Amino acid sequence: MPLITVVGSGRVGTSAALQVAMRELGDIVLLDIVPGLPQGEALDLNHTCAILDLDVDVRGSNDYRDMEGSDVVVVTAGLTRKPDMTRLDLLLKNAEIIKDVSRHIREYAPRSKVIVVTNPLDVMTYTAYKTTGFESSRVMGFSGLLDVGRFRQIIHSRLGVSYKSIRGMVLGEHGDSMVLLPRLTHVGVEPLHRFMDEKTIAEAVEATRKAGAEIIRLKGWSAHHAPGAGVSLMVQAIIKDEKAVIPTSAYLDGHYGERDIYAVVPCVLGAGGVEKIIELELTDEERAKFKASIKVLREAASQLKF
Ligand code: A3D
């Protein structure tokens, strides 16, 4: 039975654990620094498994040694963005937490694939890569499925077309400079612009960019159901060796003309983690937006020491 560890037993961590359990991808270890929290959440999740006949065991722990033997480690530990904070404000505090978690992963789960969820996402993923010392293919960041999912939700509500028939892609930072690609968004086999005018598409792109902040404004804390769902798809792609094309924050080593930085790009995910980075043919405008997004990420990364 595969073993999936989720570090951080808060909202995103427990949502991810629930959705991984729902897919019966493996046994789960929930970790947190708060005594009792992961144990209580594990008990609750085990009761869920009992009710739904999911043959999965969930264990809660405050001891990193319990992640030994993990195939995948999902990292959600950290502080969340408050209404008046940008993701980059979180940078320095969460970097210390990610460094601490990464050292434990290196020690106790040295063969695992690592999926980082903590914000600011791309720079935290870079921090995990630098601190674990793992090959870049084994350290990746979640966010692309969330941003594309939000865009698809708007298209679905406008056009009344099944989600199954709406596909899209995003590049760059998980943040204000994200580059959604309406030109490469398809409804059935036709491009989005056959169904929506330019103004409506631009509004949908803007609403997608602001969706995370809108959720915080409305309910007072950040999204967790949708991130949990997206994380479970990435875990599944790795555990089941799916070779699924998923927008993933990945280490760029000459890809898209960039080096030594993490940013969201389409990746083939399988048992090896990020098995391939797909280089899309971009227009000049898309490429310029991507470069601008990379600049934002480089500025953030330059504030950290490794
Ligand atoms: P929250 O519910 O506060 O849970 C965070 C948990 O991390 C808490 O239970 C803490 O006790 C725990 N924690 C803190 N430090 C450590 C440590 N050193 N070791 C182990 N556990 C620790 O937050 P949340 O679950 O809502 O969000 C978690 C992170 O995910 C935040 O940084 C969010 O900004 C981020 N997030 C990212 C996305 C993306 O799409 C990338 C979406 C939603 C949230």
Q: Whose CA is nearest to atom 32 of ligand 1?
A: 118
Alpha helices (H) along the chain? 11-22, 37-52, 91-108, 121-132, 144-159, 198-219, 225-239, 284-301
- The one-letter code for the residue type at 298 is R
Please count the other Cβ atoms lying within 10 Å of the Cβ belonging to residue 257.
11
**Is residue 304 classed exposed, middle or buried when 0-12, 13-18 and 19+ CB atoms within 10 A define those classes?**
middle
Q: Whose CA is nearest to atom 13 of ligand 1?
A: 77
pLDDT digits (tens, 9 = 90+) for 22-66: 999 999 999 999 999 999 999 999 999 999 999 999 999 999 999
Q: Which residue has the tokens 């490429």?
A: 287
Whether 146 is in the pocket of ligand 1, judged by its Cβ within 6 Å, is: yes
pLDDT beyond 80 at 291: yes
pLDDT in tens, 167-189: 999 999 999 999 999 999 999 99
Of 279, 295, 306, 19, which Cα lies nearest the Cα of 142? 19
Query: Residue 285: what pLDDT?
Result: 97
* pTM greater than 0.95: yes
Residues noted as catalytic: 174
